Structures are given as structure tokens and as C-alpha cells.
Amino acid sequence: MKPINWIIMPIYDCKDLTRDAIDSCLAQGIGNVRILCPIDRGLDGVAHYLRSLHPLVQTIEMPGCGVSKAWNVALSHLFDITGVDYALVANSDTRLRPDAYRRLVSDGGLFVTCVGTSSGAKFPGGEPSGRKRPHPDFSMYLIRKECWQRVGPFDESMRIFASDGDMHLRMHRAGIDAYCLDLPFYHVASGTLKNAEVEDRERILKQAQADRLAFFNKWGYDMGSPKYYEQFQTGAPE
């Protein structure tokens, strides 16, 4: 039997966007795809929809978990219990090219991503150029078990924001080259935030600010600042 190619997709409402994302995941040309969905919140019917797709889609009920914990629980399950060597992680506001998973796996990198675009004219695009960009896109990434074991889980003190930047810094310090292929995926940027009710949107923005502060307290500079990008100009510490 062919190995299962797992995709992790954290869920926070957004039923319509999630349908499109799931359809594109199940259409991947790599074969034998299964999707694991940690559900933070599914009040708009998305949870019922996902459960109706079993066994192609499996769900984990994790109310209020935040994306960092959702990633950690799902990746830990796949790497430590299921024993797979790699997993693809995709936001629920993305759509993937049918060749995305296959190309990420064949690249062989320990942490490799596609590049998000909000322009339909550029999606899915033509044949990739082979160029690589030094900064990965955490909206859709392939991570291998070796990377997970060397770097460890996402920092859950940053619940919904900035844990990706923290992980990138830690990968760099561990000597892992994380990069983005010239391979587009369609991304409705901040899709969760744009579809949230006013009160929920305010709560999300407040948590994002707390996460930015947690990042600053840990590293001594802001994520995305010049000081942050300077860290990647030097080699990994000995």
C-alpha cells in the first residue's frame, strides 16, 4: 500500500474558503492524500462539513487552541505516533496547484514552501523557474520529521501570530535552510480575520499584538524589523 501523504489544515470557521482549500488538497497529484484538521472553531457549519468527508478528512476538536498549538498537536501526532517522514501544512484560506505537494516533496528540503499570491492571473501559473527565495511562506509549507526533531515545536506563547518568525529563526540557528520555491499558491491573505465578526476580529487583533510582544520579549527585536532580517545574513551559530 502506498504511504499516506498527510496535509494538516487548522480550522477557524470560514466554511466557504475551507471548501475550496479542501478541494484543492484532495486534487493533489501525489496520490493517497489524507487531511488532518485541528478545529479551533467551527461555528459556521465547517466542522459538520469536514466530518462528512471522513475518512479522507479527519478532525481533532481543539476549541480555542490557536494556530501554534494546532500545528504542534497535529505534527506531533503524525511524526511521533503515525511515523511519517514529512507533512504538508496549509491554511484554510489557500488553494494549491495540483502539483504543489509532489514538487515540494521532490525538492528534498527539510522545510520548503510555495509562494502565496492573491492574484488570480498568476495562479496556477506556468512551469516553475527553479529559483528559490530565502524566506519561507508559512501559509503553506512542507516540513520533514528531521526538521521537527532538530528544532522542536512552535512556541505556543505566540498563539496565532509570530510563532512562524520564531520558528524561522530557530531553524536558521539549527543550520536548517528554510526557503520558498518559485511555485505559487492562491492565498486569501488574512482570510480568517476578514470573515470574522466585529467582536471576534477585535479579539484576534488583540491576541496578535500580545504575540508580537511575546516575540519581542524572547528575541529583543520585532518580527519583520531590520534587526530580524539581519539574523539571516550570517551563518548558523557554531
Q: Which residues of the chain are modeled with pLDDT < 70? A: 1, 189-196, 236-238
User: In this predicted structure, what is the pLDDT of residue 127?
Assistant: 82
User: Domains of the chain (ranges plus CATH)?
Assistant: 5-233 (3.90.550.10)
Which pLDDT value is given to residue 189? 67
pLDDT of amino acid 192: 67
What's the 3-state SS for the chain?
CCCCEEEECCEECCHHHHHHHHHHHHCCCCCCEEEEEEEEECCCCHHHHHHCCCCCEEEEECCCCCHHHHHHHHHHHHHHHHCCCEEEEECCCEECCCCHHHHHHHHCCCEEEEEEECCHHHCCCCCCCCCEECCCCCCEEEEEHHHHHHHCCCCCCCCCCCHHHHHHHHHHHCCCCEEEEEEEEEECCCHHHHHCCHHHHHHHHHHHHHHHHHHHHHHCCCCCCHHHHHHHHCCCCC
- For residue 190, what pLDDT is reported? 62
| pLDDT for the residue numbered 163 | 98
* Amino acid 2: pLDDT: 77
pLDDT of residue 236: 61
pTM of the full predicted structure?
0.94
In the prediction, which pLDDT does 238 show?
A: 52
**pLDDT at res. 63:** 96
